[in-house]
Structure 1
């Protein structure tokens, strides 16, 4: 087994990832034996989760799930591959780092809320808010990336339009359900930090949804009509939708 492979895949992420969270723990204060035990249990659960995900990654790259027992030997064979998405070394290291970061953030949340159920609600609130607010990210992609590609007549514009359209359609379908759930949960007896996330979804859900609909129209029009209607017409409609996006985003932040 190559020592360098073990160090860079497992040891270095632990050495670099744990100290920042340890600093936060000490700075926050209030560490108790119960919290320490819960954090250790959480770490063990995420180790199991990491192993399961790594087994799936190996299977994706043509190995068997049981080959995880010789993961480092397999990585040694792929060590000279480019460090890029889709390559085994990259996927394995990202999986480990993501799980380590998740453990760190959850341990901090446990320290803050002192209750596993409250941590779950905090995570739910954060996920709801991120999904509901995704239309803002899609708008930025549309304006900063897709439109310039369109005006440059770059072939990649179709993929960009398609990505914005498909992901925005998903968020358009998801936001009403998230709004209903957040409306219910915002009346619960939770800490203020958690309620703020649910309330942010409730207050802005309508604008998020309208923005998502506009993004969907922008994406699908650009993807499927780019070669079917006059370019001047498509340009005018795309710019009109782009200005509509900016107007809605302004309303979200100004409101």
Structure 2
């Protein structure tokens, strides 16, 4: 299957080996994913790995749409565990071009060849330079940066939270307007798995992405900055500025609560 759009200036690619109906068993080493994201399909899981410079392997779980990204999966192909719900992927060493991270990807050419065991996949991402609309607000629970990326066929709304004190409540909502035909593509967070729930609702007018802390959990600031991202596809017309909105509710262990809202 080949999907191509000739938009942009730079071409980025990687080659992956596909191991169907399998997940990493990790018999010889610890290999927890460094990020778990929700994607609509295996292709978007591959794109998510392509967009993270440290990603060298991924596993997509069809029933949950969970995409696990790994940075420590060297030489684990001999330790696969059968799982009909999972498809695992390894980046073939030396095939990522260029080796740096792709921050924004808007159009992909994916060439897939079938095999009874391992499938070789080449993923190409066409990127373009864009002007981001960014605003930053400082609140008592930490610094929050808001940014958005607007392209003809792909867009993201991002929230970056600089975590400096224990958070006991996190509720974040991003509302994407469907005025120019936006459709759900995926949601992304660097908050630890098992601490944040994420889901979305398409009500016909808007796509509403919500991330909430799981009851009884706290965020201990194990990393300095956490990211939340709403991803969506478009049909050739870029999303206008100031139509997507956000609401951020943060509560600290000292009892301080802040509510921050605005538009991307």
Q: TM-score, normalised by structure 1?
A: 0.22
Q: Which has more strand, going by share of residues?
A: 2
TM-score if structure 2 supplies the norm length?
A: 0.21
Q: Structure 1 or 2: larger helix share?
A: 1
